[in-house]
Structure 1
Amino acid sequence: MKHNHTIHQHQCHFGWSNTNKPEVTIAPGATIEFHPLDSSGGQITPESTLADIAKLDFAKVNPVAGPVYIDGAEPGDAIKVTLLSFVPSGWGWTANIPGFGLLADQFKDPALHIWKYDPSTHQPAMYGPGGRVPLKPFCGTIGLAPAEPGLHSIVPPRRVGGNMDIRDLSAGTELYLPVEVKGGLFSVGDTHATQGDGEVCGTAIESPCSVVARFDLIKGANLAFPRFTTRGPVARHFDSKGYEATTGIGPDLFEAARQAVMGMVDLLSKRHKMSAVEAYMLCSVAGDLRISEIVDMPNWVVSFYFPRVVFE
C-alpha cells in the first residue's frame, strides 16, 4: 500500500512523554507505514523457551514506534487515525507472566506458547490438541502524548489512548484521539495477530506486524476519551459455530469477571484434556468478557463467551 513515510523498529520509544523528539512531521492527510517491535521489545523470538519469560526486562516491554508530529494539531483537537492495513509476520507468542493477568493469584508459574501461522492467508493458528484460533491483526497500543510532564509508562491506558488492547482497532477502523499537546505526538505498537475481549491472561497472540495508517485533523473536537468507528462486523471470524458461555454473578464486577473466566478455564481444560494454564492462555486470545447486566442491584452479571469454532 502506498504511503508517504516509514517508521522502522529502531525508531521506537519506551515511555509516553511530550518531550519525545518527533521521528517525522506530517501534514493532515498523510499516510505512514510503521514497523514496531513486538510487545516484548524483541526479547521473545520464535526460538524462545519458558526460561526466557523469567529473564524479561520489563523496562523494554511495550515499545511504540514514533512519535509523529501532525501539523496544526493543538489541545482540544482530535487526530483521526484510519487504520488502512496490517501485514503480520507469521509468528507470535502468548505467555502467562507471574504477577500479571486477571487470575494472577491462581496461575503463579510462567507459561509460554509460540504460534506459527501463514501471514498471507491469515489461516487459523494451531493450538494444542486440535485447537485452531481465527486471526484478526490489530494494534494493542495506539495513542498520543499526554500533557502531564514527565516520562509515563506505556503499560496503562489513559485519556489520550495508549495500551487500550481493543481488538477492533483493526484494518478499516477509524480511531479518534483527543489531543493534549501541540502536534499530538502519535505512536503505535503492541501489535497482535488476534485477541479476545479482556485479554484475560495479560497477553494476546503478541505478533510483529507492520501497520499503515492515515492521519487527519479534526479541529475543536473536544473529545473526553477516544472513540472509534468500525466499517463492518467485528466478530465474524469467531461467530460461525456459536459459543460456550460461563458467568460470574455478584456485587463486584471484577470478581464476577474472575468467576466467569474461572468457569471457562475449568470447562475447557476438562473437555479438551489441556492443562488449566493452557486453557487460561487460550481464553485470553479467543474468548470475550462481556458485561451482561449492570442494573439489577446489588448483583451484576459478567459472561465469558468462548467461540466453538476453535475446536469444531
Structure 2
Amino acid sequence: MGVLSQCRSIHVGRDHDHLKWSKKLAPVLTVSSGDVVTFDTVDSSNDQITLDSDASTIRSLDLGLANPVFGPVFVRDACPGDVLKVEVLDLEVADWGWTAIIPGFGLLADEFPDPDLKIWQLDKGNGYARLNGAVRVPLRPFLGCMGLAPATEEDLSTIPPTNAGGNLDCCELSVGSTVFLPVQTHGALFSCGDGHAAQGHGEVCGTAIETSVKATLRFELCKDQPWVTSPHFQIPPASQLGVTILPDRGRYAATGIDPDLLEAARKAVRNTIQWLVVAKGLTRNEAYMLASVAGDLQIVQAVNMPNFEVAMSLPLGVFSL
C-alpha cells in the first residue's frame, strides 16, 4: 500500500485487475480526498476479443474472465456511513470497440440464440462509429463499472450492481458527471472498469460498444450525506458534455404494454427491432445491437394499473437521409 501526498496525480495500471468485489482485497494504493487518479482499463471481455475476432470467438468466450475492474484504491479516513464523490474528468477510448450478441445473455436472449459480433472503428476525430454506411452512432464514452467494496464478508461477482455501485452501466456517467457512492467498509476500496464508447439506456442486447478506456477521476470524501444509500449521480448541462451532436431530427419510439414491467420492456425492444428491420432495412441482429448502443428504454407510466408502459426511443439523427 503506497503512501501518497494530497492532490497528486496517481496511476493504476492494467496489471491491477480483479474479478470480484471484496473488502478482503489488498489495496494497490492509498489516496487522500482531493487526489486525481488515472486508471488504464481493458475491455469487458478481458482482451479475449480482438480486432480480428468474429462470431466464433463468442462461442469460446470464457465469461468467468469477463468484466474485470481495476484497483482497489484505499481512501484515507473513509468509514462506513461516509460518501465517496467521484468526478469523471477525462475518458480516452481506444481506436476500436465491439458489440456482441452472447447466447443466453441480454433482454431478448431467448429470441437471439446465435452469437454475433460487430467490430466498430471508433472515429474519434469526428466523434462517431458506423454500424453501416447509413447508420452512425455518436461516441459518448463512460465507465460501466465504478464501485466500492461491500460490507459483507462474501466475495461478490463484478457482473450485478450493488448499493455500493459496481456494474451500473449508466450511460449518463460520461466526462463532467459526478458519482456519489455510499462507503461500506474502511477505506472505501474503489475500483472501476468496463469501458464503453457508446450505449443506450438499457444496454438491451447485453453489450454496448465495449472498449478499453483510460479514465481520469477525482476523489472527494464527503461526510453527513445520509440520503446516499445507493449510487447517486449528477450530470452537467448538455452544452458542457463535449460530445458529438448528430443532426436533431427528433426521435422515434415504440412502446410495450404489459402487467409485468420486464415484459413491457421486452415488448418495446421487440417492436423497435421490427421497425428497424422493416422501415430501415437492418438485419435483426443489427437492429438488436443498434437498440443496445443507441436506444433508450424509459418507463412512460407506472400508475395506470394493471398495465405498465415502457418506450424505447432512437434519435433519428443516427440515420442518413
Q: What TM-score comes out, normalization by structure 1 length?
A: 0.96
C-alpha contact (below 8 Å) 1:3/1:212 kept by paired residues: no
* Amino acid of the structure 1 residue aligned with 2:39: F
Structure 1 position 128, deviation (Å): 2.3
Q: How does 1:79-90 map to 2 (within 5 A)?
A: 79-90=84-95
Question: 1:249 pairs with 247, 257, 262, which one?
Answer: 257
* Amino acid of the structure 1 residue aligned with 2:50: T
Question: 1:181 pairs with 174, 179, 185, which one?
Answer: 185
Structure 1 position 3, deviation (Å): 5.9
- The change in CA–CA distance for 1:236 and 1:228 in structure 2 (over 3 A counts) is farther
Structure 1 position 151, deviation (Å): 1.6
C-alpha contact (below 8 Å) 2:127/2:244 kept by paired residues: no
Question: How many residues are treated as equivalent by the alignment?
Answer: 310
C-alpha contact (below 8 Å) 1:72/1:183 kept by paired residues: yes
**Equivalent residue number for residue 96 of structure 1:** 101
Structure 1 position 4, deviation (Å): 1.3
Q: Secondary structure at the match of 1:262?
A: helix
Structure 1 position 274, deviation (Å): 2.1
Q: Distance in 1 between matches of 2:8 and 2:58?
A: 36
Provide structure 2 residue ranges, at least 5 long, that are not aligned to the other structure: 1-6
Question: 1:224 pairs with 202, 210, 229, which one?
Answer: 229
**Equivalent residue number for residue 306 of structure 1:** 314
Q: Distance in 2 between matches of 1:238 and 1:284?
A: 18
Q: How does 1:177-216 map to 2 (within 5 A)?
A: 177-216=181-220
C-alpha contact (below 8 Å) 1:175/1:229 kept by paired residues: yes
C-alpha contact (below 8 Å) 2:93/2:212 kept by paired residues: yes
1:139 aligns with 2:147: no
Q: Secondary structure at the match of 2:255?
A: strand
Q: How does 1:9-48 map to 2 (within 5 A)?
A: 9-48=14-53
Q: How does 1:42-57 map to 2 (within 5 A)?
A: 42-57=47-62
C-alpha contact (below 8 Å) 2:54/2:116 kept by paired residues: no
* Amino acid of the structure 1 residue aligned with 2:150: P
- The change in CA–CA distance for 1:199 and 1:238 in structure 2 (over 3 A counts) is farther
- The change in CA–CA distance for 1:238 and 1:285 in structure 2 (over 3 A counts) is farther
- The change in CA–CA distance for 1:113 and 1:151 in structure 2 (over 3 A counts) is same
Structure 1 position 307, deviation (Å): 1.1
> Structure 1, residues 153-202: CA drift from partner, whole Å, max 9, x if none?
00000000000100011101111000000000000000100100000000
Structure 1 position 270, deviation (Å): 1.5
Q: Distance in 2 between matches of 1:3 and 1:94?
A: 36
C-alpha contact (below 8 Å) 1:126/1:133 kept by paired residues: yes
Provide structure 1 residue ranges, at least 5 long, that are not aligned to the other structure: none
Q: Secondary structure at the match of 1:184?
A: coil
**Equivalent residue number for residue 274 of structure 1:** 282
Structure 1 position 37, deviation (Å): 1.2
> Structure 1, residues 52-91: CA drift from partner, whole Å, max 9, x if none?
1011111110000100000000000000000001111111
Structure 1 position 129, deviation (Å): 4.1
Q: Distance in 1 between matches of 2:41 and 2:53?
A: 19
C-alpha contact (below 8 Å) 1:196/1:284 kept by paired residues: yes
- % identical aligned pairs: 44
* Amino acid of the structure 1 residue aligned with 2:187: G
1:114 aligns with 2:119: yes
C-alpha contact (below 8 Å) 2:126/2:244 kept by paired residues: no
Structure 1 position 238, deviation (Å): 6.1
Q: Which moved more, 1:271-280 or 1:55-64?
A: 271-280
Q: Distance in 2 between matches of 1:73 and 1:195?
A: 32
Structure 1 position 236, deviation (Å): 8.0
Q: CA RMSD in A?
A: 1.5
**Equivalent residue number for residue 128 of structure 1:** 132
C-alpha contact (below 8 Å) 1:97/1:111 kept by paired residues: yes
C-alpha contact (below 8 Å) 1:129/1:272 kept by paired residues: no
**Equivalent residue number for residue 161 of structure 2:** 157
**Equivalent residue number for residue 296 of structure 2:** 288
Structure 1 position 220, deviation (Å): 3.1
C-alpha contact (below 8 Å) 1:127/1:133 kept by paired residues: yes
C-alpha contact (below 8 Å) 2:128/2:244 kept by paired residues: no
Q: Which moved more, 1:194-203 or 1:123-132?
A: 123-132
